[in-house]
Amino acid sequence: MCHGKGVEYQHGHEYGAMQFMRGFPHIMKQFAHHMEGCMGRVGSWIPYNLERREDGYIITVPIPGRTKEEVSVSLIGNNLNIKASKPTKTDGEPKEESDQPENPFLKFFFKFIDVDMDIPLPVNADLDSIKSVMANGLLKVKVGKKSSKNIDINDAENN
Whether residue 158 lies inside any domain: the answer is no
Strand segments (E) across the chain: 2-4, 7-9, 49-52, 56-62, 71-76, 79-84, 115-120, 125-135, 138-145
DSSP 62-78: E-TT--GGGEEEEEETT
Flag whether the pTM goes above 0.75: no
Are 82 and 55 in a shared domain?
Answer: yes
Domain assignment of residue 98, yes or no: no
Between 112 and 145, the higher pLDDT residue? 145
Range of the domain at 11: 2-39
pLDDT confidence of residue 30: 73
Domain count for the chain, please give it: 2
Q: What is the pLDDT of residues 70-123, one digit of tens each?
A: 999 999 999 999 998 877 665 455 555 455 556 565 666 666 778 889 999 999
Let me know if residue 11 belongs to a domain. yes
Check whether residue 58 and residue 24 sit in a common domain.
no
Same domain, 52 and 28: no
- pLDDT tens profile 34-73: 666 665 544 456 889 999 999 999 999 998 888 899 999 9
51 with 72, same domain: the answer is yes
What's residue 1's pLDDT?
A: 45
In a domain, 72, yes or no: yes
Q: Does some domain include residue 35?
A: yes
**Same domain, yes or no: 133 and 56:** yes
Size of the chain in residues:
159
pLDDT score of 126: 95
On whether both 76 and 121 belong to a single domain, the answer is yes
Domain assignment present for 159: no
Is there a domain that residue 116 lies in? yes
